Structure formats: C-alpha cells, structure tokens
Amino acid sequence: MQGLVIRLVLAAGLCAAPAVQAQQQPETVSPPSLPRTVQSPILTIDSDRVFLESEFGRRVAEEIEERGNALSAENRRIESDLEAEEQELTLKRAQMSPEAFRSLADDFDEKVQSIRRAQAAKSRALNAQLDEEREAFLAAAGPVLEQLMRNAGAGVILERRSVFVSASAIEITDAAIALLNETIGRGEGAGD
C-alpha cells in the first residue's frame, strides 16, 4: 500500500512539473503559423510520420515509387524475354548434340545470373537512395526540431513508439510537419 502511495505522489509530481516549469519560464514566441507550443521538458514525436507526411518525404516517396515502378516494368520485360529465349533453347534441344546443348544452356544460365545480379544491384541502389534521402531529411530537420524544442523549453524529444504512455499535449508531430514544410519544403537537391 505504501508503495502505491509513493508511486501516486511521484506521478503527481511528474505531471505537475511541466506546469510549474511553464509558470517559471518567460513566454516564448512560437513561429507565426504554428499553434502555441506546449511548455514541457519532454516532447514526443513520430519520426516516421514526420518523414512520410512532410512535403520532403512525399517527394521522396513519389520518386522512389516512380523508379520502383520502372524497375518492376523492366524486370517483367526481361523475364518475358528470358522465358522466350528459354523456350527457343528448349525447342533446339532435339536437333542438338548433348554437348552443344549443354554449352548453350550454360551460357543461358550465366546470362540469367548476370541479369539477376544487375537487377538486384538496381534494387539495392533504390534502397540506398531512400536511405540517403532520409539521412538528408534528418540533417535538415535537426535545426527545425531544435527550434521546436527550445520553444517548448524542452530538453529532449523522444520517439513516440519508445514511450509507453504520454499526454497528447507533448506530442509535436503535427507542429514538426508544418514547420518543416515551411522551412525545408520538398527538399529538392538535399540528398545530392
């Protein structure tokens, strides 16, 4: 029972801390187009949502999807060509010696493996582009998130998924998206 009382007192103290701190701190001016930022030493953010819903993230998603669709179309065309070539090779088999056929089959297998490696490299390059763009976004977002943190009088921004329970008032994802859209926009050339 005493442990429960202690936990309740501690929880009440933690809940009251942001209010006490907000009373002690001078008023901070929020960016003009954003709602007043909550005053709290701890903020939470959904970084995936910030990336995916920001103009920058939407641009990256569009580019990656476009390149991915082109790669898929290329893979389907190559697959169709290889199937036709394999069918042709199968038809020739009856008129060829086993040694001659084996040589053609080995050459065909090597061609297929080479194409598979080349297409896998293109897929890896697409994933690498996404990683590079995300890193460029995080680098550009850092100062903006620091500004939000300063405006709130916070000392830390935690990933929302890492927090078991929190007050929705300390969640800054929407404010971060709005401010990032204002400051870095689509971020063209940021990953170059």
Q: What is the pLDDT of residue 38?
A: 67
Q: What is the pLDDT of residue 37?
A: 55
Q: What is the pLDDT of residue 188?
A: 81
Question: Counting Cβ atoms within 10 Å, is residue 175 exposed (0-12), middle (13-18) or buried (19+)?
Answer: buried
* Helix ranges restricted to H, the chain: 2-24, 47-53, 55-92, 98-152, 173-183
| 4 vs 98: which has the higher pLDDT | 98
Helix axes 98-152 and 173-183, enclosed angle (nearest 10): 100
DSSP at 39:
-
Cα separation of 124 and 67, whole Å?
12
Tokens of 134: 């995300």
Q: What is the pLDDT of residue 42?
A: 93
Q: What is the pLDDT of residue 65?
A: 97
**Residue type present at position 67:** R
| Residue 85 and residue 48 in contact, taking contact as beta carbons nearer than 8 Å | no
Confidence class of residue 190 from pLDDT cuts 50, 70 and 90? low
Chain segment 112-153, per-residue pLDDT in tens? 999 999 999 999 999 999 999 999 999 999 999 999 999 999
- What mean pLDDT do residues 95-118 have? 95
Q: What is the pLDDT of residue 167?
A: 84
What is this structure's pTM?
0.69
Chain segment 4-61, per-residue pLDDT in tens? 333 333 333 334 334 434 444 444 444 444 445 568 899 999 999 999 999 999 999 9
Cα separation of 161 and 173, whole Å?
12
Nearest to 43 by CA among 184, 131, 156, 164: 156
